Amino acid sequence: MSNKKQKKVLGRGLDALLNTSDDTQYKKENLITPKSLEIDIKKIQVNPNQPRTNFDSSEIENLTISIKDLGVIQPITVREISSENFEIISGERRFRASKLAGLSSIPCYIKGVDNETDILKMSLVENVQRVDLDPIEIGLTYERLINDYNLNIDSISRIVGKERSTVSNYIRLLKLDPIIQSGIRDGFLSMGHGRALINIDDKKLQLEIYEQIISSKLSVRQTEKIVRGNRNTNKSSTNSDVSKIYIDATNKFEKLFDSKVKLKENSEGKVSLTATFKSINDLYLILKKLSD
């Protein structure tokens, strides 16, 4: 492979997605090396099809402070609708923070693409490539590329530079109960927890385990162990019963102790219980209650 071809690999994702070629109506140099200039912030509008739907207010505030001190380091990417109107392809968070910082203009890369479909594809892929979305947004993005643009998982994998299994795992997160999806988006549990919970078909049980993850701060490994017990329900009802007992016992201990409790099982099947009390007096009161 020549040096020229090696350098081109990094840009292959968008090229593959947009199907650009020497004879296409859009000049490839405008996609790979867009011009940059300051644009009046009032002339810029957000993309109504922006794949990112969660904008953390604290992140925006911190970015606003940074922009006030240092300016916008990385230009946003826009397309020209008219001489007086531009639409954001990527960089809406920087755009919002710049407005809050009181900037009258913002540095922009202008990409010479006019087709609405290609604009949306580019916006989706650029966000994913910058890891700028939460796991659920990424899953929704991949699903949209499949449903709206007839792309398959292999194509998406090639475009965004991710393993096929990784793309599939993000899409599978969308099978979770909406409450659990919100928990992932808000950072209450990780994608690893979500991947474990996907294997539970019963949405009610999903939520029970989800609540246990939150209340007891279960690790992904602990969650996987509970899930494994429930996946074998058809083979052995005992495993399912043990998992439910684990959840029920923890909840009851927490209610009794008025404290966070952790149940841990070792390789020999022995279970240990850990609880934290504010003082020795609180522990004494619990012991007294138990003895009565």
| Range with the poorest average pLDDT among 49-58, 210-219, 230-239 | 230-239
Q: Please indicate, yes or no, whether residues 103 and 206 belong to a single structural domain of this protein.
A: no
Question: 8: pLDDT confidence band, cut at 50, 70 and 90?
Answer: very low
Among candidate residues 70, 96, 114, the one where a domain is terminated? 114
Q: Please indicate, yes or no, whether residues 197 and 96 belong to a single structural domain of this protein.
A: no
In a domain, 169, yes or no: no
Residue 169 is predicted with a pLDDT of 94
Q: Please indicate, yes or no, whether residues 287 and 184 belong to a single structural domain of this protein.
A: yes
More confident residue, 39 or 28: 39
In a domain, 237, yes or no: yes
Average pLDDT of the residues in 180-207: 91
Residue 107 is predicted with a pLDDT of 93
| Range with the poorest average pLDDT among 186-195, 211-220, 253-262 | 253-262
Question: 263: pLDDT confidence band, cut at 50, 70 and 90?
Answer: confident
Average pLDDT of the residues in 41-53: 79
Residue 209 is predicted with a pLDDT of 92
In a domain, 10, yes or no: no
In a domain, 120, yes or no: no
Residue 243 is predicted with a pLDDT of 64
More confident residue, 124 or 233: 124
In a domain, 166, yes or no: no
Among candidate residues 66, 88, 114, the one where a domain is terminated? 114
Average pLDDT of the residues in 222-242: 65
Q: Which of the residue ranges 95-104, 135-144, 150-159, 271-280 has the most confident prediction, judged by mean pLDDT?
A: 95-104
Domain limits at 79? 20-114
Q: Please indicate, yes or no, whether residues 210 and 286 belong to a single structural domain of this protein.
A: yes
Average pLDDT of the residues in 34-60: 78
Q: Please indicate, yes or no, whether residues 76 and 183 belong to a single structural domain of this protein.
A: no
Mean pLDDT across the chain, nearest whole number?
A: 77
Q: Please indicate, yes or no, whether residues 206 and 278 belong to a single structural domain of this protein.
A: yes
Q: Please indicate, yes or no, whether residues 180 and 258 belong to a single structural domain of this protein.
A: yes
Question: 11: pLDDT confidence band, cut at 50, 70 and 90?
Answer: very low
Residue 137 is predicted with a pLDDT of 85
pLDDT at 256 over 90: no
Question: 181: pLDDT confidence band, cut at 50, 70 and 90?
Answer: very high
Burial of 233 (0-12, 13-18, 19+ CB in 10 A): middle
In a domain, 221, yes or no: yes
Q: Cα Rg for the chain, rounded, in angstroms?
A: 25
* Angle CA 105–107–109, to nearest 5: 135
Q: What is the DSSP string of the chain?
A: --HHHHHHGGGHHHHHHHT--TTSSS-HHHHHS-EEEEEEGGGEE--TT-S-----HHHHHHHHHHHHHH--SS-EEEEEEETTEEEEEE-HHHHHHHHHTT-SEEEEEE-----HHHHHHHHHHHHHHTT-S-HHHHHHHHHHHHHHH---HHHHHHHHT--HHHHHHHHHGGGS-HHHHHHHHTTSS-HHHHHHHTT---HHHHHHHHHHHHHHT--HHHHHHHHHHHHTTTT-HHHHHHHHHHHHHHHHHHHHHTS-EEEEE-TTS-EEEEE--SSHHHHHHHHHHHH-
- Domain total of the chain: 2
Dihedral sign (CA 14, 20, 21, 26) = negative
In a domain, 149, yes or no: no
Average pLDDT of the residues in 53-75: 84
- CATH number, domain of 84, equals 3.90.1530.30
87 assigned to active site: no
Among candidate residues 114, 137, 154, the one where a domain is terminated? 114
Q: Please indicate, yes or no, whether residues 279 and 183 belong to a single structural domain of this protein.
A: yes
| Range with the poorest average pLDDT among 33-47, 138-152, 177-191, 256-270 | 256-270
Of the residues 80, 87, 92, 137, only one is catalytic, namely 92
In a domain, 160, yes or no: no
- Please state, in angstroms and rounded to a whole number, the distance separating the CA atoms of residues 1 and 116: 34
pLDDT at 22 over 70: no
